[in-house]
């Protein structure tokens, strides 16, 4: 007999546009890898301006560096707290999303 398991990705909310996705992301949410491993804490969003795309601003748990994650990398938002990114844990730190430190962080 085959045992059925629940799909951990079921129930995620998807959005029709980058703008609507960014509007649903809030500080305190967790950026998670595709396998739901916590990776960074959301600090806010930078909405797109003109042709410049918006992005999610978060701070990595491992080294506290800021990252700017594009909305097209997001799979879905789960339970209002997990922003699931389409990257596996083994590759998520190799995306080039790390942001330069703010002037106040360089002291």
CA-based nearest residue to 100, from 55, 54, 56, 68? 68
- b/e per residue, 81-107, with b = 16+ CB within 10 A? ebbbbebeeeebbeeebeeeeeeeeee
| The pairing of beta strand 74-78 with beta strand 66-69 | unpaired
Tokens of 19: 């703008």
| The pairing of beta strand 38-46 with beta strand 55-60 | antiparallel
Stretch 10-28: mean pLDDT: 89
Each residue of 72-85: pLDDT tens digit? 999 999 988 999 99
Q: What is the pTM of this model?
A: 0.82
Q: Residue 48: pLDDT above 70? A: yes
Residue 106: the pLDDT is 43
């Amino acid at each position: 007999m085959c045992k059925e398991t629940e799909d951990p990705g079921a129930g995620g909310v998807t959005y029709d546009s980058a703008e609507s996705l960014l509007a649903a992301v809030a500080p305190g949410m967790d950026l998670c890898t595709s396998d739901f491993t916590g990776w960074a804490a959301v600090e806010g969003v930078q909405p797109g301006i003109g042709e410049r795309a918006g992005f999610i601003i978060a701070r990595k748990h491992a080294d506290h560096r800021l990252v700017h994650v594009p909305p097209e990398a997001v799979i879905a938002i789960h339970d209002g707290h997990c922003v699931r990114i389409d990257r596996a844990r083994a590759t998520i730190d190799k995306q080039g999303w790390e942001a330069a430190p703010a002037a106040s962080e360089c002291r």
